[in-house]
Structure 1
């Protein structure tokens, strides 16, 4: 951990010996390692999987571990970990354990065979708590939440009063095999953020850094990305390279089974001093964004969209017309759709004056262009307490993104290498430089 250097292979090395002249850093790696039960060895015979050939999957996973232990990241988050195979699990436990890591594993529900693994270096982290989240949806997906405290000294954090805790989340969202499943992925992220929020309230935690790691199965153009951005999360790789939303084509991290390449692997960072929009408001915006996108694909203008929604009334939208439109867009009426409660919440969000109907002005402000209706200075929509005495401050740790590297290096230029065989995903490693942040002492828990 500590001294960081970029090698020819573009991997990040973290030396065990601290360089006294440099500030130590926290490094985090996320990697979908492609479970052998999914790795196809013969594209003409879909049943021919790597899991049937021990020598193949064993050699590949030994190579994966070689790379992980060469980098020695402080935090390792793996997806598609073949948790159903005892020999492979034992391999990772032994090698990571011998290198000083403590491991936490979680299989997908319904015995899918694969799952997640988080490993953190015991020398540098004290584990405070570990939790598991089961989405209980059609994808049998899960998430891990690891609450840790930094156990090594930082030069700017010698004061024992400085809070040095972090929440780390590892997940692998559903692959959108059909357009209706995009809503499922949005649901999964919503559940994660709800769980993180409830965890902080249950344990009365003050604001602390949150890292969301994993395979999100969605790109920078997708609704999941926009949803997380609306909650003030920052894509660490993009921050390191000063990329904007317009630079989505500049890097990729996955070649899927259709042969398409895309950027789906992220390490998201939320620092404790960042204001967060109320989660339910961000959720409503995200769903209305999906709604708007579906109508635009049908080449509907805002006037056409309003007419589509009002259905049974000449001048305004009624709840029954609203529900009918959502059903036609395949957002409700099936097991993957919005629940009755969620649909009602959306309606309440859109019906500003609560008169039971939505006129054209409300439609534009709340549905068609919701981002414009919530200004960042609208204090009622933000989670920090404005009545806090700003003169009473306490310090907590935060992080700056110092560097971020994808391997193999070709993916950093938007290309997928022909002879890369470790996985169908790139490995993402981010270097975080710790900093201290002053927080109002009465900030909400």
Structure 2
């Protein structure tokens, strides 16, 4: 599976300032199916299993992934002079912005969607995302942050590309109340889309997370600890399920740049940035400037065991 990336800006639809980052593998993108039954998993930790039929025939295909911090309305300030005034206080504002976000996501039609700062505390917004994504052929999974923070994560995968094998949730239980999602899927693409027959049964692990914001340098260790927990959890899951060498996608808002310790640690563990792969960038300082948009905090999709 060869990974290629198409970046897209999230600012035009009112996200949290991080880039919406996508990778595309060598596999077609059909129109989303509207007749699929959807499976939705919330923070209860239920396991979702489904076997969506493949609708792709003999044409070449590709897999794509979008990660997007959509900025929860409870955090979006509307007035610099009045910091307590939030978008969540005005239904018309947050509803309009999130409708635009959904329209953009459905227009892109990526096979994997990973959202951060998803407003899990608002049932109307949650149902809007679940219903729209379900109608478009996605299976959705949401996970709220611990201690009733009000926001969390949402992951969606399209039925035409994946069969759901397992779903797990990781609670860091730290002072940042951060969480992570792990989704174990199997490709359902036809053999004509692959050079090798066994590629049609290729399994994949997808992780979605939102790391702690680096308010000061002392939090660098805490952020590294969060990433270490994720890798340790993934390694344990691989070992328990005999998944040696399975491709892994770590996606989300890392709240850090290529110059940070988290990114460098992931590189030391064999992960590569999908953005760098697509644009043939390196880890040099010059390229780090370009990829991180003047070293602003950005989202990443990093890959390992992809060929």
TM-score (norm 1): 0.56
Structure 2 residue 296 is the aligned partner of structure 1 residue 262: yes
Q: Is the Cα contact below 8 Å between 1:24 and 1:154 reproduced in 2? A: no
1:177 to 196, 205, 215: 215
Q: Is the Cα contact below 8 Å between 1:251 and 1:263 reproduced in 2? A: no
Partner of 1:325: none
Partner of 1:250: 290
**Cα distance in 1 for residues equivalent to 2:273 and 2:5:** 21
1:230 to 268, 272, 294: 268
Aligned residues: 264
Partner of 2:254: 216
Three-state SS of the structure 1 residue aligned to 2:221 is helix
Three-state SS of the structure 2 residue aligned to 1:34 is coil
Cα drift, residue 251 of structure 1 = 3.3
Q: Larger deviation: 41-50 or 8-17?
A: 8-17
TM-score (norm 2): 0.79
Give the 5 Å matches for 1:39-54. Answer: 39-54=76-91
Structure 1 stretches of 4+ with a deviation exceeding 3 A read 4-15, 17-22, 160-163
Three-state SS of the structure 1 residue aligned to 2:263 is helix
Question: Which string of whole-angstrom CA distances, capped at 9 and with x for unpartnered residues, describes residues 366-405 of structure 1?
Answer: xxxxxxxxxxxxxxxxxxxxxxxxxxxxxxxx45xxxxxx
User: Which structure has the larger Rg?
Assistant: 1
* Residues 9/226 of structure 1: CA separation in 2 closer, same or farther (3 Å cut): closer
* Residues 88/9 of structure 1: CA separation in 2 closer, same or farther (3 Å cut): closer
Three-state SS of the structure 1 residue aligned to 2:197 is coil
Structure 2 residue 56 is the aligned partner of structure 1 residue 16: no
Partner of 1:135: 172
List alignment gaps of at least 5 residues for structure 1.
254-259, 272-397, 400-445
Partner of 1:31: 68
Partner of 1:191: 229
Cα drift, residue 9 of structure 1 = 8.5
Cα drift, residue 151 of structure 1 = 1.1
What is the RMSD computed on CA atoms of the aligned residues? 2.7
Partner of 2:16: none
Where is the helix percentage greater, Structure 1 or Structure 2?
1
**Cα distance in 2 for residues equivalent to 1:80 and 1:218:** 16
Partner of 2:37: none
Question: Which string of whole-angstrom CA distances, capped at 9 and with x for unpartnered residues, describes residues 293-336 of structure 1?
Answer: xxxxxxxxxxxxxxxxxxxxxxxxxxxxxxxxxxxxxxxxxxxx
**Cα distance in 2 for residues equivalent to 1:160 and 1:40:** 50
**Cα distance in 1 for residues equivalent to 2:7 and 2:304:** 28
**Cα distance in 1 for residues equivalent to 2:9 and 2:67:** 17
Q: Is the Cα contact below 8 Å between 2:179 and 2:209 reproduced in 1? A: yes
**Cα distance in 2 for residues equivalent to 1:7 and 1:265:** 11
Q: Is the Cα contact below 8 Å between 1:220 and 1:263 reproduced in 2? A: no
